[in-house]
């Protein structure tokens, strides 16, 4: 990603964050915080892929791992679409412009965060592969990405069902650790597997699309 593209993406995020702060209230006020939290790992990924100092890289990498689940977490916010009560008495979708506006508020940040987040996972996986000298590992970049997405799926569970935000790790780490120790169950593993498979599917489609575009250019 070029410097211009990064600044354009920053502009898009901050424009929406500013808009959300001024205009979105009530049932959808959660969008402001969740969008900011989803943006943090994306900004960190910009620094990670250009950071040469080893100590700074690994410190930022740890922060990225802790905050990245906030990007796919936005997918679970789509359940809030039920608040719009989209179906009329005839069972068909209502043609109500305020409702479709709120639909765009929810879906827009989610799509951008998932797509850009998927790109950042692949980029950071490539950087980890290079720094850990795993270039000879078959499909190393994809394997590292799969592991990162697995951690992200666990993070989504923690955020959605334990109601723990990434920032809590910096405030009350002992409480967080206790919650993490007690969260493991068969249902938890099933949810993590579902979220991991969904993210992995998005990642594989993204990689396939990228590979096809590269082949076409050649």
Query: Which tokens is 4 given?
Result: 């211009």
Q: Is the pTM of this model over 0.75?
A: yes
Q: First CA to last CA across the chain, in angstroms?
A: 19
pLDDT band at 203 (very low <50, low <70, confident <90, very high): very high
Residue with tokens 């009329």: 88
Distance (Å) of CA 173 to CA 12, 153, 164, 181:
33, 20, 11, 12
Report CA torsion sign: 155, 132, 144, 183: negative
Q: What's the confidence (pLDDT) of residue 148? A: 93
Collapsed DSSP state (helix, strand, coil) of residue 87: strand
The residue count of the chain comes to 218
The range of the structural domain enclosing residue 90 comes to: 3-217
pLDDT at residue 82 is higher than 90: no
Which residues are CB-contacts of 50 (< 8 A; sequence separation ≥ 6)?
Answer: none
Instruction: Give the pLDDT confidence of 117-169 residue by residue, as tens digits.
Output: 998 999 999 989 988 888 888 788 889 999 999 999 999 999 889 887 666 66
Structural domains of the chain, count? 1
Instruction: Give the pLDDT confidence of 32-59 residue by residue, as tens digits.
Output: 888 998 999 999 998 888 767 888 889 9
Burial letters 111-149, b for 16+ CB under 10 A, else e: ebbbebbbbbbbbbbbbbbeeeeeeeeeebbbebbbebb
Collapsed DSSP state (helix, strand, coil) of residue 50: coil
């Amino acid at each position: 990603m070029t410097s211009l593209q990064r600044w354009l993406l920053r502009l898009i995020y901050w424009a929406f964050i500013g808009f959300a702060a001024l205009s979105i209230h009530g049932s959808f006020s959660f969008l402001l915080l969740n969008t900011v939290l989803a943006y943090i790992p994306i900004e960190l990924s910009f620094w990670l892929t250009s950071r040469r100092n080893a100590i700074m890289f690994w410190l930022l990498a740890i922060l990225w791992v802790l905050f990245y689940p906030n990007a796919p977490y936005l997918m679970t916010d789509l359940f809030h679409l039920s608040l719009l009560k989209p179906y009329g008495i005839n069972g068909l979708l209502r043609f109500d412009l305020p409702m479709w506006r709120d639909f765009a508020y929810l879906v827009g940040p989610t799509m951008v965060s998932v797509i850009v987040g998927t790109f950042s996972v692949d980029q950071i996986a490539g950087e980890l592969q290079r720094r850990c000298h795993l270039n000879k590992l078959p499909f190393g970049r994809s394997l590292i990405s799969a592991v990162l997405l697995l951690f992200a799926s666990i993070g989504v569970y923690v955020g959605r069902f334990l109601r723990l935000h990434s920032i809590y790790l910096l405030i009350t780490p002992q409480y967080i650790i206790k919650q993490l120790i007690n969260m493991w169950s068969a249902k938890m593993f099933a949810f993590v597997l579902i979220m991991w498979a969904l993210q992995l599917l998005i990642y594989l489609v993204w990689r396939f699309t990228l590979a096809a575009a590269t082949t076409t250019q050649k």
